[in-house]
Amino acid sequence: MERWAEPPGCAHTMNIIAVGISHKTAPIEVREKLAVPESRLGEALRRLCAYPGIKEGVLLSTCNRVEVYAVVEDVDAGYARVQEFLADTHLSLSSEQLTPHLYWLTNDRAIWHLFRVAASLDSMIVGEPQILGQLKDAFEAALTHKTSSVILNKVVKKAISVAKKVRTETKIAETAVSVSYAAVELAKKIFSNLSEKTVLLVGAGEMAKLAAKHLVSNGVRRVMITTRNPQGALELAERFNGVAIPFDDFRRELAEADIVLCSTGASQYLIRAEDVQQAVRRRMNRPIFLIDISVPRNIEPAVKDIDNAFLFDIDDLEARVEQNLEVRHREAAKAERMIEEEVEGILHWLKSLDVTPTIVALRKRAEEIKQSEIEKAMGRLGHLSPQDRSAIKGLASAIVNKLLHGSLVTLKVEANGASSTMFVEAAKRFFDLDNVSSDKNEDVPVVSEPDLDREPSGKDR
């Protein structure tokens, strides 16, 4: 069970927590019990936010993770409520069975984790694109059911923005990390443009079918299919909108194919060097790309020695995948640094939430006192001209602004400091602000107050 202590200076009246399980902490039989289908997401979100102390909630449920992001008043109580919620999701799973698989994160660690999840740095395959769409859907559900408000709205939107930035400014998703995608990547190196190319699929192995699917989606024009089972070949041809070829005749069709994908259970070579040599001759030396995903191999290795014939076997493709994974992990290091910077920005904003209500309350208290004293003065002074009244109001406003200026500037400057809580509490006591109502989660940054940055004039602002 993972849990990080809150570092000094990061305490908030409202806390962000993340509690969940993933492929790193729980087997599939536990994850599938906690998974929440889309049809039940609204009910689950309403149930989550009905627990005492949970002010906001977002639920991310995928095949590899189930996570709750929540805004809570008390961290330990929030952890307990979310664990209870997760256990109640599947009644056959007790809290005792669930606890060993959970991770628990607070404030900066929770935000850091969310940003990494969004950017697919915490995924089973680093750089995969699906998780960002899944997070967007989870956030949309929370907005629809009104379980996300000011704090999670800001944090999740920033997580989505950071993930897009990572994908734009790094190469974390540019290289192929599956055998089928690696085949397409290599094909693109041989044929810079796959449009108008023809692929021949020999056999019905899953990886070869997946590679054929990717090739078609990348522009391959025509698919020919042959298997020892004629009915199977016809079904595949229908699936790929291609043509079925009798198995005994496929060697004569090699010259028609720009790309050959071979994946059968045969124990001997089905395509020999002389077959490919003859095909290249008939193709007038136009290149032919052959991918042998069969184990044992079905294409004679001597094909590699033929000019304009490019043969890759399963080991070649897996070596390519390993190389690409190394590239992704190098790019992931860049992404980690980007995320650290973005987390700092959100933490500063969160700290400003503690200061903003105090500034609002202080201004409100000052305004109440000012108005009360103006009314008393006006009553004692009797009949005054409009100009005199305006002058009195301007004088009162100028005095209030000058008196408040130093305090407001200090609160703004200290909003992101380690002692922000101390300054907020001091301001509340000095100015007796505990009984002044203000909106704690007002979504305005303190740093946008222009009148705090310069000495106020005598004019009524």
| Cβ-contact 298, 271 below 8 angstroms | yes
Residues 266 and 414 in one domain: no
Inside any domain, residue 54: yes
Inside any domain, residue 318: no
Res 416: pLDDT: 64
Side chain identity, residue 394: G
pLDDT digits (tens, 9 = 90+) for 13-70: 689 999 999 999 999 888 988 999 889 999 999 999 999 999 999 999 998 899 999 9
Inside any domain, residue 70: yes
Question: Can you tell me the distance from the alpha carbon of 408 to that of 116, in angstroms, rounded to the nearest whole number?
Answer: 36
Inside any domain, residue 461: no
The mean per-residue pLDDT over the stretch 317-326 comes to 86
Residues 299 and 371 in one domain: no
The mean per-residue pLDDT over the stretch 229-233 comes to 90
Inside any domain, residue 327: no
Whether 63 is a known active-site residue: answer yes
Last residue of a domain, one of 169, 192, 211: 169
The mean per-residue pLDDT over the stretch 282-295 comes to 93
Q: How confident is the model at residue 437 (pLDDT cuts 50, 70, 90)?
A: low
Residues 206 and 80 in one domain: no
Q: Which value, to the nearest 10 degrees, does the dihedral of the CA atoms of residues 290, 294, 295, 297 take?
A: -40
Residues 114 and 201 in one domain: no
pLDDT(178) > 80: no
Question: Can you tell me the distance from the alpha carbon of 349 to that of 308, in angstroms, rounded to the nearest whole number?
Answer: 60
pLDDT(177) > 80: no
Instruction: Name residues whose C-beta falls within 8 Å of residue 178's C-beta, 6 or more positions apart in sequence.
Output: 125, 210, 321
Q: Which of 88-97, 128-137, 149-158, 438-447 has the lowest mean pLDDT?
A: 438-447
| Cβ-contact 239, 210 below 8 angstroms | no
What CATH number has the domain bearing residue 98?
Answer: 3.30.460.30
| Cβ-contact 154, 352 below 8 angstroms | no
Assess whether the previous peptide bond of 287 is cis (omega < 30° from 0). Answer: no
Res 423: pLDDT: 75
Res 306: pLDDT: 97
Q: How far is CA 123 from the centre of its chain?
A: 10
Question: Can you tell me the distance from the alpha carbon of 205 to that of 187, in angstroms, rounded to the nearest whole number?
Answer: 19
The mean per-residue pLDDT over the stretch 321-336 comes to 88
Last residue of a domain, one of 258, 284, 307: 307
Residues 192 and 298 in one domain: yes
Q: Would the pTM of this model clear 0.75, i.e. be above it?
A: no
pLDDT(110) > 90: yes
Residues 384 and 435 in one domain: yes
More confident residue, 52 or 178: 52
Residues 155 and 185 in one domain: no
Residues 274 and 383 in one domain: no
Catalytic residue selected from 10, 49, 63, 262: 63
Residues 51 and 123 in one domain: yes
CB neighbourhood size of 444 (10 A)? 13
Residues 18 and 158 in one domain: yes
Q: Which residue has the tokens 């950071």?
A: 162
What is the average pLDDT value for the chain, to the nearest integer? 85
What CATH number has the domain bearing residue 239?
Answer: 3.40.50.720
Q: Where are the alpha helices (DSSP H) in 41-169?
A: 41-49, 75-89, 95-98, 108-118, 130-144, 150-169
Residues 161 and 183 in one domain: no
Inside any domain, residue 337: no
Res 389: pLDDT: 87
C-alpha dist (Å) from residue 275 to 205, 253, 259, 317: 22, 10, 14, 23
Question: Can you tell me the distance from the alpha carbon of 159 to that of 343, in angstroms, rounded to the nearest whole number?
Answer: 9
Q: How confident is the model at residue 117 (pLDDT cuts 50, 70, 90)?
A: very high
Q: Which of 124-138, 298-312, 348-362, 382-396 has the lowest mean pLDDT?
A: 348-362
Q: How confident is the model at residue 415 (pLDDT cuts 50, 70, 90)?
A: low
- Tell me the sheet residues that pair with 59: 68
Instruction: Name residues whose C-beta falls within 8 Å of residue 410's C-beta, 6 or more positions apart in sequence.
Output: 423
User: Which residue segment(s) compose the domain that 416 sits in?
Assistant: 348-452
pLDDT > 90: percent of the chain: 48
pLDDT digits (tens, 9 = 90+) for 215-227: 888 888 899 999 9
Q: How many domains does the chain have?
A: 3
Residues 422 and 301 in one domain: no
Q: Which of 142, 19, 137, 30 is nearest to 81 (CA)?
A: 19
Inside any domain, residue 273: yes
The mean per-residue pLDDT over the stretch 367-382 comes to 87
| Cβ-contact 34, 93 below 8 angstroms | yes
Give one word for 106, left, alpha or beta, with left for phi > 0 and alpha for psi -120 to 50: beta
